[in-house]
Structure 1
Amino acid sequence: MKNVPEPQSAVPVEAPVTRIEPIDFSTRSVPVRNQFEAWRSLMSPVIDLDLAGDRDGGFDAEQRVWDVGGFALTRARLPADGQTRVWQHVRKNPLDHWCFVLVNDGTGPSLPGSPAEPRQLFFRSLGRPFDGAAKDTSVLTLYAPRELFGGNLGGIDHAIDTVADRGIGALLADYFLSLEKRLPDVAVEDLPNVVEATRAMIAACVRPSLDRIEIAQDAIVATLMERARVIVGQNLRSVTFGPDKLGQALGVSRSRLYRMFEPFGGVARYVHRQRLLAAHAALSDPANKTPIIQIAEGLGFSDASGFSRAFKQEFGHSPSEARLAAAVGAPIASAIRRMSGVGDVSTDFGELLRRLRA
């Protein structure tokens, strides 16, 4: 009897790992006299930017954007020419996001003749007025939608906006730097874990600042806003839900309700945007096979064409394009149009930030 060789066990083949890709922008491809306007256009979804000096003398700058899904991380390299840049948060239809800004982290050149500045970490609500000025040459910024933290950081709008670079505050700055370094090796499937770890780290480190809030009225307003967000989230599928019902549920007057939501463009605008975000989340879920029109109707949009127009105006792409990106398994950043024109890059950055959702 012949010896029959034993079957060889199959060697498992590892599935290819898809990694996130950054969006890069540089003014170097733009004529020198137009470089500042190119940068200004790039940042226009977030801030109104200007220079205290000459705009035509060149503005050699670059930015790398990492779309992590629940938040965005950006690194900006700016000219070390000593010119002061001035800005203010966008006043019309502002993003309901927080931004955490790390400057003087040792990754950029020092200004000629100037002593090294201490590392600083700030956080600000993009939905609230703010005017700033700086000469920083390297800035690391994390943009996160307010919903990422639920009610854990309800008083952040009224808290001290600087995280001390010592103790647990220094850990947060170190974490942001480590995150930037490690993101190129992170697989797309691991992004939810990165988002959760970052959410927990920020909440732990910012909390000491929130505990110093002493003005009772501010705490009351912050509590009301968090209640309002929960109520809106619970009623996104109600076609009759609006400012009147929200005011009744909160037990506040119509005028007070409108003052609360004034930074977000009003109550109706806020509810409308939350419905669009919910629709985008549903269409971005490859397991969700519900027809687009049913998703729209379920979120209070009775007119298909009106829904499509509002969706594209908010996110820069159509509902069907959002579903297609999910169906082919494209990373979030890869679904953004990669065009070389300045206006297109600015639009991509704005779309990314508007699409962020916990």
Structure 2
Amino acid sequence: MIKPSEFSTKTLPIRHQFEAWRHLMSPAIDFDIPGGREKGFAAEQTVWDVGGFALTRAKMPGDGQMRFWQHIKKDPLDHWCFVLVNDSTGTPIGGPSSRQLFFRSLGQRFEGSANDTSVLSLYAPREMFGDGLSSIDGVSDSVSNNGIGALLGDYFTSLEARLPGIAVADLPKVVEATRSMIAACIRPNAERLEVAQDAIAATLMERARTIIRQNLRSVTFGPDKLGQTLGVSRSRLYRMFEPFGGVARYVHRQRLLAAHAALSDVTDKRPIIQIAEGFGFSDASGFSRSFKQEFGHSPSEARLAAAVGRPIPSRIVPIFSPAASDFGDVLRRLCA
């Protein structure tokens, strides 16, 4: 398994923290805080060197102070940089989200400012795309957080979570899947979308699962709202969930699983009907019937078994299987 490179200013004297962070970022950007260099800058960075690209997570102070930065040409780097800023707390459908994905070339002059606290960045050499992204040279742009654009942000987030479990031998496949996904989402055309279909399908399903988990308590949530949020047609949504008995069946089962977990929690003292209603089951007898059909025992039997510490056998079967060095050196190796 690959291991990330980690850096933190938190163990440094306060007066040296900002300069240490500025030096760390100097291969890519010139970074400054007017009048704020002596006040401390507790920050952390994790760098994954994937071979064909680098993925980094930067966590910075949440003091609201604006930071200013610009691309520099003192270093011979001309990578594409994709920056995902996401302070969203995972709100359900209809809730606000501050996530935004930006992309730009380090070889082009650019100035910006921000007070973000957590930023996920992917650095990729131009050679990774050939001429595929040449048409965006000289343009600072962002990717819409809906439709296919939202999938790219989801893909980056999922990639960060899964990298610790990926074997070194599989990294070339990760690089190719990432290249196809970026090209398809930044400048989509029929050919690129076709090449990226596997990565798009996997990311779309993961996004669907996340949306469903966030809305298990919403009685109005169903296939129509899921399709609208994903930006896919009813027919495609049906094809995605056909192996699981359809969208409605999958959502229904996830609600039952959530209710089962709550009933098995000895610290949850709510009445059974209150737990059922909390997950969208308004009819007590209907909930009990569906519960026993799914798990082979009743809600009251599940609660009693948890209380005495002897869980009864269950038919629960998972419906899804889970389908180092210096920062500058990592970026330079991408050119090799």
Q: TM-score, normalised by structure 1?
A: 0.53
Instruction: Tell me how far apart the structure 1 counterparts of residues 138 and 66 of structure 2 sit (CA, whole Å).
Output: 27
Q: Distance in 2 between matches of 1:78 and 1:84?
A: 11
1:46 aligns with 2:28: yes
The aligned residue for residue 88 of structure 1 is 70
Given the alignment of the two structures, is residue 98 of structure 1 paired with residue 80 of structure 2, yes or no?
yes
8 A Cα contact 1:27 1:38, kept in partner: yes
Counterpart in the other structure of 2:158: 178
Map of 1:356 onto structure 2: 334
Letter in 1 for 2:31: L
Instruction: Evaluate the alpha carbon distance shift between residue 68 and residue 86 of structure 1 in structure 2; reply closer, same or farther with a 3 A threshold.
Output: same
| CA deviation after TM superposition for structure 1 residue 158, in Å | 4.0
| Structure 1 residue 122 corresponds to structure 2 residue 108 | no
1:156 is matched with which residue? 136
Aligned pairs for 1:130-209 within 5 A: 130-159=110-139, 161-208=141-188
- Using a 3 Å threshold, how does the CA distance of structure 1 residues 160 and 46 change in structure 2: closer, same or farther? closer
Contact 2:66 2:113 in 1 (8 A): yes
Any idea what the Cα deviations from partners look like across 1:144-185, whole Å, max 9, x if unmatched? 000001122221214561111010000000000000000000
After the TM superposition, which segments of 4 or more aligned residues of structure 1 sit over 6 Å from their partners?
A: none
Q: Is the 8 A contact 1:107 1:138 kept in 2?
A: no
The 8 Å contact of residues 46 and 94 in structure 1, kept in 2 or not, is answered as no
Identity of aligned residues (%): 68
**Aligned CA distance change for structure 1 residues 128 and 106 (closer, same or farther; 3 Å):** same
**1:191 corresponds to which letter in structure 2?**
L
Q: TM-score, normalised by structure 2?
A: 0.56
Deviation per residue, 1:214-260 (Å, 9 max, x gap): xxxxxxxxxxxxxxxxxxxxxxxxxxxxxxxxxxxxxxxxxxxxxxx
C-alpha displacement of 1:351: 1.0
Match of 1:66 in 2: 48
Superposition map of 1:1-358 within 5 A: 19-106=1-88, 118-159=98-139, 161-208=141-188, 333=324, 336=325, 348-357=326-335
Cα distance in 2 between the residues matched to 1:101 and 1:197: 18
Task: Report the aligned-residue RMSD.
Answer: 2.1
Structure 1 unpaired stretches of 5+:
1-18, 109-115, 210-332, 337-347
In structure 2, the residue corresponding to 1:66 is in which secondary structure? Answer: strand
1:307 maps to which residue? none
Q: C-alpha deviations, 1:265-323, integer Å up to 9, x for none? A: xxxxxxxxxxxxxxxxxxxxxxxxxxxxxxxxxxxxxxxxxxxxxxxxxxxxxxxxxxx
What's the CA shift for 1:208? 4.4
Q: 1:142 to 1:50 in 2, by over 3 A?
A: same
Q: Is the 8 A contact 2:88 2:97 kept in 1?
A: no
Aligned to 1:56, the other structure's residue is in SS state coil
Shift of 1:124: 0.6
